[in-house]
Structure 1
């Protein structure tokens, strides 16, 4: 009797714990719901404090502001899914903006200028992916070095001076709307849908997730690990090029200076979206919602009269909190 009682009690405790876990849902489920739930709670709280926050013009304006963070977060998702990071993402945006303006000054058609900005991002991603995949230098070192190189190239080419681009076709991307929603935000959502299909409904996406989860096992299965890493960082770089086009459209001029706030928001959105920092597990809608959440938070603080200096502080706290909740997820 004495030896059976602890076993019986332990069995009941295990059953109770299992029932509680089943009622609350798995950790995976909570990670997927964290960003949407946080967004809803934030909207309700800020809306109750200031009703203007939830007005339709305010919402559409904030969604438009979230366009660039969404696009960059989508690019960062592919790097993080490979258990890596791209620190040069914000600098890529600046260089893409500068090359677009330089091509425009040379008299090239606008569509060609935008293509050059996209190719600039692809080039940066290709260089990063080549050194990470083929030369096997750690992603942190490679992208830290390319951050400095790309930032320097941006300043050298532009001489640190922005160039006005008074093209209505370009600015229309950020000013015109369809059904009350800005075109730039709709483009970002369209890109997210395409990347969702690529990541979860193609062989390449399956291989990328496998490499991010365990590169040695993926190599043993016959996957071309360096080539897959190269492709992942090329997608990340391409998103930097698209972000450059969106930024130039939004501001109406090139921006040679690197805005590190974009990198911070991109990584923060990825973490908030439930993408595993250890690689191998990802989602596309999560970083999108994470980017919208951070934009709503920043706009809400501004609407409440809080100094803009507190914005990086809040984003940093949110990132560390989200990363803490993800510990042990691997």
Structure 2
């Protein structure tokens, strides 16, 4: 019999009940970067996923790029996350947190002492971030601020911060592991790609140099908590946050081969444009080739795919062996019991996009399960 989406799977140290993951979804409901009790409810409602990956979580104040996103660097933040992990574990779920440094996708209002956001090079992204007016409580999207180029002497400190955040996540907050955010035009992806990285030192120019920071951060996190608790997210061709690379295929072939020996729990690949089309105009990419390169180089981690997967496509991906795990994003916002709905081929609740970012229970913890809808 072939493997199905609903069969268990081992991802490094993580024994998962099924092959459905909840993708990271920014929700902007953590004032002062502290997850609230409502956040514990939200994740616990979705604990039947094989794996919950939290919203992206800042590894430092400098790493924050949006209002009211959570962090991993303060005791209040870690205490908030403890409630989340306890609630998920009580429901029998597995949860990892996504380690995030936004780099240039930030605003001076969000940075320590109103400083400039940091980046590989001083190139402003044609992108927006999210601010909240403290007087009115209203949120709005605004243009990102001009960044400053990181000095090479600052990079070891950032690598250390990734490792410290991973230790905080597992040892203090009770997460089952972490996912390194190497995608979507944030700091590690900015260093990877030619559109954002114009450095001429050991962190710019060649593929090996541009990949250096991502690989150093990943190795540091693996050293801190063990590779079997570490996943990484990559997005070879997404244009998200004004990111691009002149030649992504050889870049990601190199990156994936360097990641292979690290004993990672999983590799999470966004196919196409994040939250958009699976094929990006003018940016062809062979995802099968990088998976093959990973396995050829000895990579044992589970292969997770993401972007615009519906039930049929997800089932085909797992049954064909093309993927070990499929991550669902927006469908998880409005369907806390997504696993059951997919299993039964039941209709999905529609999401309310106006409540995606910021707010309270509405559009967050009030979506009904199948059972609740029937009782309705």
Higher strand share: 2
Computing the radius of gyration from Cα coordinates, the structure with the larger value is 1
Structure possessing the higher relative contact order (Cα contacts under 8 Å, 6 or more residues apart): 1
Q: TM-score of the superposition, structure 2-length normalised?
A: 0.23
